[in-house]
Amino acid sequence: MTNSDGAFALRLPPGEYRVTTQQGADWIQSPNTVRVRRRTSNVVVRFGRNLRVTGTVHGLSSEEVAGLRVEAVNDRLAARQGEASPAGAAAGAASFSISGLDAGRWTVVATVGNSVRRAEREVLLDQRDERIDLVFERLNDLSGTVLLDGQPLSGTLVLLAVDGNLASARGVWTRYDGSYRFADLPDGAYTLAVGAETRTLNVRHDSDVPVDLRSGRVEGFVVDARTGQALAGATAHVWPMLTNRERARALGVVRTTFVDDAGRFAFNRLPEGVWALAVDGVPGMRRVDVMANGVVRISVP
């Protein structure tokens, strides 16, 4: 039995023990072990979520600090969310605090938004709070500027895929000046896609990859295959041939125009490359090779 101060005394041979106490009808087990090594050992057994881990996270940009998430996870899959805030005058650093932890072994994990970057460290909580530092390793940045006919191309989607798998590609939109940026890239092979243009890159360090495109024009004429009459009011669509229509629509890279009363349609300033063309109400899809400064004329069907 413990006394009014919570103290207890036991005669035990040297070794490791796990302490269990009874409160009423409930049995409570300490999550950490107690080591008895000498003839008399003084130990403190702390039950409940009274411990705390604090520290500093290093290696982030100011923007990344705003999206920082820190939590502690133990081997019983219990998780505790922490609080993070910029670390005063330290650029690229943040302070964090995780409270309400049981004694035992925890892994403190820091992540940033949807980034693949993470930093983690294991900590053993016994009789007191702990302070640790977490450091994010510096990964690669890929950036550049997209030009169309020598002018910045704003508001266009740039895709980046691992090993050419565009189904799981990351995408960013170019800014007003045509610039784009992908951050936190592990070393490896990537496919960069803008419009119908693709490039294979081997990323090993920060890289600047400008994309200078030339445009062409696509003109078409659509008739109803049954009547031979112009298919006025139909909708024509083009998208990069490197992906299917459903994925292109989800990515927002399908361009659309209407067929006029004479059955004609046109796409102006279409970046050079291989495009797919489809017209609502007309079965099938057609390949269109757009050449720089060229005009492609096509009849549908």
Return d(Cα 130, Cα 115) in angstroms, integer. Answer: 27
> Is pLDDT above 70 for 167?
yes
Q: Which tens digits make up the pLDDT trace of 9-43?
A: 777 777 777 767 665 554 555 555 667 776 666 66
Domain around 201: 140-213
Nearest to 221 by CA among 265, 283, 279: 265
CA distances in angstroms from 91 to 17, 26, 59, 98, listed in the order given: 46, 49, 9, 22
pLDDT of residue 5: 64
More confident: 110 or 29: 110
The confidence score (pLDDT) of residue 181 equals: 94
Amino acid at 150: G
191 with 157: CB under 8 angstroms?
no
Supply the CATH number for residue 155's domain: 2.60.40.10
Out of 113, 135, 157, a domain closes at 135
Which band of pLDDT confidence, cut at 50, 70 and 90, is reported for residue 238?
very high
Closest listed residue to residue 202, CA positions, set 185, 219, 216: 185
Is residue 63 predicted with pLDDT exceeding 70? yes
Can you tell me the mean pLDDT for 162-169? Answer: 78
In-domain check, residue 254: yes
Q: What average pLDDT does range 98-113 have in this prediction?
A: 88
- Which percentage of the chain shows pLDDT scores above 70? 86
Query: Longest C-alpha distance within the chain, in Å?
Result: 104
Out of 100, 135, 170, pick the residue that ends a domain: 135
Same domain? 195 vs 222: no
Residue 7 lies in a domain: no
How many structural domains are present in the chain? 3
Does the residue 31 lie in any domain? Answer: no
Residue 292, pLDDT above cutoff 90 = yes
Mean pLDDT, the chain, rounded, equals: 85
> Are 186 and 255 within one domain?
no
> How confident is the model at residue 79, as a pLDDT?
81
Do 129 and 69 sit in the same domain of this protein? Answer: yes
pLDDT tens digits, 172-215? 999 999 999 998 888 899 999 998 888 999 999 999 999 999 99
**Residue 11, pLDDT score:** 74
Confirm whether 164 is domain-assigned. Answer: yes
Look at residue 135 and tell me whether its pLDDT is greater than 70: yes
The pLDDT of 39-48, averaged and rounded, is 59
The reply to whether 204 and 230 lie within a common domain is: no
Among 135, 164, 185, the domain-final residue is 135
pTM score above 0.85: no
Least confident of 4-13, 148-157, 184-193: 4-13
Residue 75's pLDDT is 78
The pLDDT assigned to 250 comes to 86
pLDDT at residue number 41: 63
